[in-house]
Every structure is written in C-alpha cells, then in structure tokens.
Amino acid sequence: MNKALSACVISIALSLPLAASADESLVRFEGGIGVQPLRAGALPNIVFGTNPGGQPWVISRLSARVKLDGRISVEGRGLLLGGGNGIGTNGGQSVRAKLICGGVPHESALVPLEADGDFRIDGFVTPNPPFPCTTPVLLIVSGGGNWFAAGIPKQPGD
C-alpha cells in the first residue's frame, strides 16, 4: 500500500470513533411531570433558578434524548393547562427544552404547542452540554422562561 493511501486509511479509522460517539446518548428522559406552582411555606417551586408557570400544567407523555454533540430530540404529548380559566388549552404558548447539567442550563430553540398540547423539538441545545452531564434535569419552559413540565431521567440500560 502506498504512503498516501495508508495515511488516508489511518485518518478514516481514527475519525470513526468520533463519528460514532456523536450518535451516542448523553442523557435520556422517559415520562413527564407537570408543574404545580405551589409554595412550600414562602418558597415557590423554583428549579435551578427557573420559576414555575403561573398555573398548573399537565403532560400526558414526554420522551427526550440528548446526544453527545448537543443534538436534542423531544416529543411531548398533551402539555395543557391544568387549572385556571384556560384549563384544558395550550394557553397559546410556545416551549423550548432546557437541559441542566451540574446546574448549568443548555437550551433548544422555541417551538409552538399544537392545540392539543403536542410538540416536537429537533435541533441542538446551546451551549453544548458537557460529558458527563452530572445531575441531569430536563425542563420544558415557555418563551418567557417559566417551566411547565419536567422529564423523568432514564437510567442507562433501562
């Protein structure tokens, strides 16, 4: 084999682990919890500096995966107001995913909620999250930054 071809083969071989690692999951979430903006004494339901929505919200299903390169895919179903005069509606809201690793937020682009509360986020979180993502938390937040739902972390191997 000539030197140029050998160098090319070695270069490709060395880049394969990097390409494969970009497809690996950093963190996954299955299931969701809607926000209850209740107070425990004087303390509101704040998560890592993120205030709750002003009304209760419910979510029927949430599934999310964040890859090592920061790509995020979230599928949410039935994110609707669970109280107030707009109960059972999407409140005219748009949402984004907010991944928190070790207390540091990483956010996706904003997408509108469908009338039935369904949404899909496909893109990247910024800034790119670290590996490993320690104490991962996934919040679904409004355009104004209040959280409406949280993802339930899925343990590796589950």
- On whether residue 107 sits in a domain, the answer given is yes
Question: How many helices (H) and strands (E) in the chain?
Answer: 1, 13
**Euclidean distance between CA atoms 148 and 118, whole angstroms:** 13
- What whole-number distance in Å separates Cα of residue 156 and Cα of residue 158? 6
The model's pLDDT over 91-135, given as tens digits with 9 standing for 90+, comes to 999 999 999 999 999 999 999 999 999 999 999 999 999 999 999
Tell me: pLDDT of 20 over 80.
Answer: no
In-domain check, residue 125: yes
Res. 1: pLDDT tops 60: no
Domain count, the chain: 1
Residue whose token pair is 């997408």: 111
Domain for residue 12, yes or no?
Answer: no
**Which pLDDT does position 22 carry in this prediction?**
55
Q: Which domain holds residue 75?
A: 24-154
- Asked, for residue 44, whether it belongs to a domain, the answer is yes
In this structure, what are the phi and psi dihedrals at residue 69, rounded to the nearest 5 degrees? -85, 5
Asked whether residue 7 is domain-assigned, the answer is no
pTM of the predicted model as reported, rounded to 2 decimal places: 0.84
